[in-house]
Amino acid sequence: MIYPKPLEDLVKQLQKLPTIGPKTAQRLAFSILKMPGEEVIKISKSLSEVKTKLNYCRICGSITDQDPCMICTNPNRSHQVVCVIEEPEDLLAIERTRQYKGVYHVLMGVLSPLDGIGPRDLRIDPLLKRVDEKNITEVIIATNYTTEGQATALYLANQLDSFDIEITRIAYGIPVGGDLEYIDDQTIGQAIEGRRKISS
């Protein structure tokens, strides 16, 4: 190949990122080449810093630069309500709504027998221990509404059944802005089943 070695290396490395194929990697590599040196050094530094400076919170399992994390140590949040999520990034999606004031528990994945992921591969034992030892009153299961997410939710509900706590699941239904005409039957069915009285 006519690429000089360092450029070829970069194109190869960039392809390890998700959704970056050979063509995108090449385009990115050339644009990096054209960037001012100090900008590239900044990106390179940021990359290594996320690996050296960030860690998982020992309590909730989210990504943090202090351990325990800012949410687990925040006295203004309810530490009796725990929201169970699949991945650290789900936390950001919920935090963006500014509606949730409890704490989190990250499973680090979802039950998936086909991929060989069983209960022991997820942070389920730490969750049970947390519910057992801390004064927790409600666990909101916020795994995704996928087959795996649903199976995980059911499994968790079973495991938590022996504790005297409320176990809830985030609501199914029509997404905000959703147009009935274009929404799948299953979602509409669930939305009707989950209907609530309109308080007047």
Task: Please report, as ranges, the residues that interact with a copy of itself according to CB under 8 A.
Answer: 2-7, 9-10, 12-14, 16-19, 24, 26-33, 35, 37, 39-51, 53-54, 63-66, 70-71, 87-89, 91-92, 95
DSSP secondary structure letter of residue 167:
E
Which residue, 93 or 192, is less far from a copy of itself as judged by CB? 93
CB of 31 to a copy of itself, least distance (A): 5
Q: How far apart are CA 73 and CA 64, in angstroms?
A: 12
CB of 77 to a copy of itself, least distance (A): 12
Q: How far apart are CA 191 and CA 69, in angstroms?
A: 36
Q: How far apart are CA 55 and CA 53, in angstroms?
A: 7
CB of 155 to a copy of itself, least distance (A): 23
Helix axes 22-34, 5-14, angle to 10 degrees: 130
Contact (Cβ atoms closer than 8 angstroms) between residue 110 and residue 149: yes
Which residue, 44 or 162, is less far from a copy of itself as judged by CB? 44
CB of 68 to a copy of itself, least distance (A): 13
Q: Which ranges in 54-98 belong to alpha helices (H)? A: 88-96
Which residue, 18 or 75, is less far from a copy of itself as judged by CB? 18
Which residue, 65 or 132, is less far from a copy of itself as judged by CB? 65
